[in-house]
Chains A and B, each alone.
Chain A
Amino acid sequence: MEWYQDFPHIGYDLEGKKIYKPIRNKDELDKFLEKMENPDYWRTVQDKMTGADIKLTDEQVDLVHRLQKGQFGDVHFDPYEPAIDFFSHEVMIHPVTNRPADKRSFIPSLIEKEKVSKLVHAIKMGWIKPRKPKEDTPTYYDLWAHEDPNSILGRHKMHVPAPKMKLPGHEESYNPPPEYLPSEEEKLAWEQQEPAERKLNFVPRQYRCLRAVPAYSRFIHERFERCLDLYLCPRQRKMRVNVDPEDLIPKLPKPRDLQPFPTTQALVYRGHSSLVRCLSICPGGQWLVSGSDDCTVRFWEVSTARCMKTLPLAGVVKSISWNPNPTICLVAIAVEQSVLLVNPSLGDKLLYGATDQLLESYVAPEEERVQPVQWVAATTEEHGKGIRLVVQHSRPVKQVTWHGKGDYFASVLADNSNMQVLIHQTSKRWSQNPFRKSKGLVQCVLFHPIRPYFFVATQRYVRVYNLLKQELTKKLMTNCKWVSSMAIHPGGDNIICGSYDSKLAWFDLDLSTRPYQLLRHHKKALRSVAFHKHYPLFASGSDDGSVIVCHGMVYNDLLQNPLLVPVKVLKGHALTWDLGVLDVLFHPTQPWVFSSGADGTVRLFT
């Protein structure tokens, strides 16, 4: 009937005409009223074909009830009638059938015989075996009755026993002390962590009594993970470093026993308005000269911190060097493209007078020689300032350094050709280019204090040239990325190199071409390093604003290695534009160290 739900008809008659649905004459309201009023409503059924209401009789209602209960429709049908057994084991006088017995029920079955013979054959051939007797050994017995600890099999020889599970701490208790309960933020943080990263694999909780403790939902998980750990994780014997951290600290001689060395800041030389790039001191130790980015050179009296003289120049002072010869009073200053030789006119009048005379006594040679630079005598105006000679280079000059005798000096140019290093002779006023080929960007150069050696530091290597033989004697690998500065021990056998990657390399020239020791004391780039002339001290200044003074004892005995002990960290310079100490310098006679910083001061530590 439901197929015709949406149609006006409810089927077709024999002639194929539509049988239309009976006209609905009852609406919901009528139905409701009837339901309320008609006492026989419950037994009224609508005939869908005719649309007429039919009241069921009592018998019909009874039938419906019985069918609903699963009983037979007929009241009189008895499902439990006693059954009459027709075919039973009892032999009846009157059999059901009177058929005589078959012949085959008297003779042995051939099929069975065949089957049996097959089985017999199989047994004879040993194909079918009798059932194995059940083993009656007990399941458990004394397995370790004859235990022999030495009888460990090969693959268990290096047996790594499974690590035991971690024992629970206070925080795992059902009623932990209150300090172990996580706060809200900690809980949130715990939830946001990766499960593998969590320190605890559960959130500590507190329950008032044992009754309130629920089952732990991850119990099976944890056991399962333990199983996985046991059979999937490779085990490794880990040698735990069980060292006392105090034992790791090397036993060094006490700094107190290594005195003297500078310990406190004694003087501050103020006056420069910009970074003080370079420092130099007169061989007597009375005067200090400093060059700065404010285009001045200042001469100070060491003991009083008084600025004796200020020399304004044309450009930024890159390098400055006082002539180490005590009989000559001359300062070489690298300014832009020229090196100025200045007579500061300080100290002994005889001395600086003699220097002037020495410079004036120069007689130009007859034939002009081709020189890489121009030597120009100072103008009268410049002469008044103290400038005596100007050595004009083709490129900006980075560094200038004197030879120990005080006649020769070397200058480094910011260039990448073979013209990077020039050696000048003051008395003859002539210069020469010692190198034919460029071997990289030269950072700084240095004369050997005693022997005719010349050190050239490029970015990563230090080359040692013999000036007499004019050949390369050694090439030192610094193991640094970029060498910034270099200093030589007065004995001449040891070199230290500071680098921008905050390392300080100590070379023993007799030992090897690799650093004897690489010190990483500073946190930032090293700007300069210096040796003391007499005391076994060396210092390094760095961008982190500190000067570290180390004791560097070199023994005459060749078998004994140098002893390097840091003795003092000197701080004082303020960081300006991420720069700290730019130059360090030792006093020639006293255990004092000068440092010039980016904050425009020069400081003396004694």
Chain B
Amino acid sequence: MQGGLHLPPSSPWKRALSLPFSALQVFVRKLRKAYGKSEWSTVERLKDNKPSYKLDHIVKERYPTFIDALRDLDDALSMCFLFSTFPRTGKCHVQIIQLCRRLSVEFLNYVIASRSLRKVFLSIKGIYYQAEVLGQPITWITPYAFAHDHPTDVDYRVMATFTEFYTTLLGFVNFRLYHSLNLLYPPKIEGQSEVELKPTEGEAYAMDSESYLEKLSALSASLARVVAPTPEDDVEMDEFPVEGETAEQMDARKKEQEVLEKQKKLFEGLRFFLNREVPREPLAFIIRCFGGQVSWDKSLCIGATYDVSDPSITHQIVDRPRLEQQVVGRYYLQPQWVFDSVNAKLCLPVADYFPGVLLPPHLSPFVTEQEGDYIPPEKLKLLAMQRGENAGEESEEEEEEEEEDDNDDDDEEEEEEEDDSEKEEETKLKKMEEQKTQSKALPVKVTAGKVRLEDKQRLEQEQQSEEKRLAIMMMKKREKYLYKKIMFGKKRKVREANKLAEKRKAHDTAIKEEKKKNKKARRA
């Protein structure tokens, strides 16, 4: 089937599509017949009259409100970004790939215009982005820009069907999003008419039909608006206290808002230059999302706005072990700095990210540690920095680490205590027994009694734990099962956290020892 409609009979999509689907079947049958008879005019005629179908009503049916559509946008975006990286040969129709590329670029431009990017993460699978659109977190992943090793055990027809639906959805969403920002849709680049956009030089960068999308996908220019924004537009929102909200909560909300505003202007006033070895698109996207200016080598991509030699460049993103000549007055940084800064919501100290330097670990911004979870020390450091504490002093950190470790140990002990207390009792009883037997066997001898200091707290604790154990005995079978399951899960979590902490400790000590050895070696 041309459209790649390959659906199992039970699929609800198939039911919704059944009418145009049968027409398509008829069309394909006719076409095949015409081909078989070599009736080329018929083939032409049939192709001209190819029945088309639309998925609009399905989108509307699935997502009755716009928010519903936004909520389900994760997969659509990931799929479109994947398809836009496919080669224009073989695997699927070129039109679909082009459409995916166009829609994804449009979405990126929207995110830039609305400055709604929140989190980014360099994973081994690809780059994760999280944007907040109308209060909905939207997460998508893009693969690294390499050729795909197309697997053979994947049914591309299924993927193409999904993509067809997703492109429809994403198109409508983009339309609505652009209009919500008073932007033109399809997007226009600000300040330039289309004529101007055509390459003036003799060498053609791309075909006329494609150059516009290329320009757009360079992500370097802002978009044209229907109504020119005026400063009066940014009216301060009046604050209405939400019902049932305490003053504290309101303060917290306010603070959060402030942090958010600050994050949105993270790179404002900074001028970046991307070296040719760093991935251009993600970095340009991120930097522009936070208000920075970005440029790259002219030969790398269309849309470069300034040159390497520009003295106003503040940061140059570099990903090579060392640089031959460096210009004074700008930082040479590895790309991870941009990502970490965005996640930390502040410009991190640059010293850790110089070219050739061993980078600090890159942490996932999607992890929110609950109580009792393992928190890597880097995260603690970062949290301290966010709170505005000076985390530069190493000793403090170490103390913190140690404290944390101690806490972990305590937890373990507590756990063990429960098990131990029974054993302890037994051993006590045994001791008493032994004493008694001894007293029977040995000649009677009275020694001065020792005042046994009994830890009252401990006794109380023991008693409480025993009470708990007795109460657990009285639980109903089903509840007991549930309780045991919950406790098992909790214990496993603690165990995992402890394991990670232990591993970290071992790693740190190993590194310390190596350092010492190196020092010694240097001295000797």
Measured in the bound complex, the distance between the Cα atoms of B49 and A286 in whole Å is 110
CB contacts (< 8 Å) of B72 on chain A: these are: 161-162
The one of B158, B335, B466, B483 that contacts A245, using a Cβ cutoff of 8 Å: B483
Contact call A220/B482, Cβ cutoff below 8 A: no
Q: Given known contacts A220-B82, A221-B154, A249-B475, is B362 in contact with A143 (CB within 8 Å)? A: no
Contact call B362/A175, Cβ cutoff below 8 A: yes
Q: Looking at the assembled complex, report how far the CB atom of B60 sits from the nearest CB atom of chain A, in whole angstroms.
A: 6
Contact call B279/A210, Cβ cutoff below 8 A: yes
Q: Does B281 contact A (CB under 8 A)?
A: no
Within 8 A of A (CB), among B10-49: 11-13, 48-49
Closest partner residue, chain B, to A139 (CB atom) = B171
Q: Does A92 contact B (CB under 8 A)?
A: no
Q: Does B426 contact A (CB under 8 A)?
A: yes
Within 8 A of B (CB), among A254-272: 254-255, 265, 268, 270
Q: Does B155 contact A (CB under 8 A)?
A: yes
Q: Given known contacts A176-B362, A249-B475, is B126 in contact with A219 (CB within 8 Å)? A: yes
Interface window among A82-90, A110-118, A152-160: A152-160
Contact call B66/A224, Cβ cutoff below 8 A: no
CB contacts (< 8 Å) of A148 on chain B: these are: 64
Q: Given known contacts A144-B176, A215-B143, A220-B150, is B475 in contact with A177 (CB within 8 Å)? A: no
The one of A161, A174, A231, A251 that contacts B11, using a Cβ cutoff of 8 Å: A231
Q: Does B425 contact A (CB under 8 A)?
A: yes
Q: Looking at the assembled complex, report how far the CB atom of A448 sits from the nearest CB atom of chain B, in whole angstroms.
A: 28
Contact call B334/A566, Cβ cutoff below 8 A: no
Within 8 A of B (CB), among A136-182: 139-144, 147-149, 151-153, 155-156, 161-162, 164-165, 167-170, 172-180
Interface string of A201-237 (1 = CB under 8 A from B): 0101101111101111111111110111011100000
Contact call B471/A210, Cβ cutoff below 8 A: no
The one of A142, A164, A168 that contacts B128, using a Cβ cutoff of 8 Å: A168
Interface window among B239-247, B388-396, B500-508: B500-508
The one of B125, B144, B162, B336 that contacts A202, using a Cβ cutoff of 8 Å: B125
Closest partner residue, chain B, to A227 (CB atom) = B162
Interface string of B464-491 (1 = CB under 8 A from A): 0011111111110101001100110010
Q: Given known contacts A140-B174, A148-B64, is B162 in contact with A230 (CB within 8 Å)? A: yes
Contact call B124/A172, Cβ cutoff below 8 A: yes
Interface size class of A (residues with CB under 8 A): 35 or more
Interface window among A97-105, A364-372, A460-468, A567-575: A567-575
Q: Does A521 contact B (CB under 8 A)?
A: yes
Measured in the bound complex, the distance between the Cα atoms of B58 and A143 in whole Å is 11
CB contacts (< 8 Å) of B470 on chain A: these are: 252, 255, 565-569
Q: Does A509 contact B (CB under 8 A)?
A: no
Residues of A at the B interface (CB closer than 8 Å) are 131-132, 139-144, 147-149, 151-153, 155-156, 161-162, 164-165, 167-170, 172-180, 202, 204-205, 207-211, 213-224, 226-228, 230-232, 241, 243, 245, 248-252, 254-255, 265, 268, 270, 519-521, 548, 564-569, 571-572
Q: Looking at the assembled complex, report how far the CB atom of B101 sits from the nearest CB atom of chain A, in whole angstroms.
A: 16
Contact call B364/A169, Cβ cutoff below 8 A: yes
Measured in the bound complex, the distance between the Cα atoms of B474 and A519 in whole Å is 7
Interface string of B354-368 (1 = CB under 8 A from A): 000011011110110
Contact call B507/A214, Cβ cutoff below 8 A: no
Interface window among B194-202, B224-232, B254-262, B428-436: B428-436
Q: Given known contacts A210-B335, A211-B277, A231-B11, is B49 in contact with A170 (CB within 8 Å)? A: no
Closest partner residue, chain B, to A572 (CB atom) = B429
Interface window among B73-81, B203-211, B513-521: B73-81
Within 8 A of A (CB), among B114-136: 121-126, 128
Q: Given known contacts A211-B277, A214-B146, A220-B148, is B125 in contact with A175 (CB within 8 Å)? A: no
Q: Given known contacts A243-B482, A245-B483, A571-B425, is B507 in contact with A178 (CB within 8 Å)? A: yes
Closest partner residue, chain A, to B339 (CB atom) = A210
Q: Looking at the assembled complex, report how far the CB atom of B246 sits from the nearest CB atom of chain A, in whole angstroms.
A: 23
Q: Does B149 contact A (CB under 8 A)?
A: yes
Q: Looking at the assembled complex, report how far the CB atom of B57 sits from the nearest CB atom of chain A, in whole angstroms.
A: 9
Contact call A249/B471, Cβ cutoff below 8 A: yes
Q: Looking at the assembled complex, report how far the CB atom of B339 sits from the nearest CB atom of chain A, in whole angstroms.
A: 9
Measured in the bound complex, the distance between the Cα atoms of B140 and A300 in whole Å is 81
Q: Does B59 contact A (CB under 8 A)?
A: yes
Contact call A216/B124, Cβ cutoff below 8 A: yes
Q: Does B159 contact A (CB under 8 A)?
A: yes
CB contacts (< 8 Å) of A520 on chain B: these are: 477
Residues of B at the A interface (CB closer than 8 Å) are 7-8, 11-13, 48-49, 56, 59-66, 68-69, 71-72, 74-75, 78-79, 82, 121-126, 128, 139, 143-144, 146-151, 153-155, 158-159, 162, 171-172, 174-176, 179, 185, 277-279, 319-320, 334-336, 358-359, 361-364, 366-367, 376-378, 422, 425-426, 429, 432-433, 436-437, 466-475, 477, 479, 482-483, 486-487, 490, 500-501, 503-504, 507
Contact call A173/B123, Cβ cutoff below 8 A: yes
CB contacts (< 8 Å) of B123 on chain A: these are: 168, 172-174
Q: Looking at the assembled complex, report how far the CB atom of A523 sits from the nearest CB atom of chain B, in whole angstroms.
A: 11
Contact call A173/B49, Cβ cutoff below 8 A: no
Contact call A173/B363, Cβ cutoff below 8 A: yes
CB contacts (< 8 Å) of B475 on chain A: these are: 248-250
- The interface residues of chain A, by DSSP majority, are classed as loop
CB contacts (< 8 Å) of A221 on chain B: these are: 151, 153-154
Q: Given known contacts A131-B48, A167-B139, is B176 in contact with A208 (CB within 8 Å)? A: no
CB contacts (< 8 Å) of A230 on chain B: these are: 75, 162
Q: Given known contacts A227-B158, A249-B483, A566-B470, is B336 in contact with A210 (CB within 8 Å)? A: yes
Measured in the bound complex, the distance between the Cα atoms of B429 and A149 in whole Å is 70
CB contacts (< 8 Å) of B174 on chain A: these are: 140
Measured in the bound complex, the distance between the Cα atoms of B66 and A208 in whole Å is 43
Measured in the bound complex, the distance between the Cα atoms of B13 and A230 in whole Å is 12
Contact call A210/B122, Cβ cutoff below 8 A: yes
Q: Looking at the assembled complex, report how far the CB atom of B248 sits from the nearest CB atom of chain A, in whole angstroms.
A: 24
Q: Given known contacts A140-B185, A143-B172, A250-B475, is B12 in contact with A180 (CB within 8 Å)? A: no
The one of A223, A249, A251 that contacts B472, using a Cβ cutoff of 8 Å: A249
CB contacts (< 8 Å) of B62 on chain A: these are: 156
Report, nearest first, the 3 A-B pairs whose CB atoms are least far apart: A215-B146, A167-B366, A179-B504
Q: Looking at the assembled complex, report how far the CB atom of A485 sits from the nearest CB atom of chain B, in whole angstroms.
A: 19
Q: Looking at the assembled complex, report how far the CB atom of B236 sits from the nearest CB atom of chain A, in whole angstroms.
A: 29
Measured in the bound complex, the distance between the Cα atoms of B68 and A148 in whole Å is 12
Q: Looking at the assembled complex, report how far the CB atom of B511 sits from the nearest CB atom of chain A, in whole angstroms.
A: 9
Apart from the given pairs A141-B175, A249-B471, 6 other A-B contacts in the complex at a CB distance below 8 Å: A140-B175, A170-B367, A173-B361, A210-B278, A213-B124, A230-B75
Q: Looking at the assembled complex, report how far the CB atom of A270 sits from the nearest CB atom of chain B, in whole angstroms.
A: 8
Measured in the bound complex, the distance between the Cα atoms of B474 and A214 in whole Å is 57
The one of B128, B154, B378, B469 that contacts A220, using a Cβ cutoff of 8 Å: B154
Can you identify 27 A-B contacts, CB atoms within 8 angstroms? A139-B171, A140-B171, A143-B172, A144-B60, A152-B64, A165-B139, A168-B125, A168-B364, A172-B124, A175-B122, A176-B361, A179-B501, A179-B504, A207-B124, A208-B359, A209-B334, A210-B334, A210-B335, A215-B147, A216-B126, A224-B154, A224-B158, A231-B158, A249-B471, A252-B471, A568-B470, A571-B426
Q: Which of A168, A169, A176, A564 has the most CB of B within 10 A?
A: A168
Contact call A219/B125, Cβ cutoff below 8 A: yes
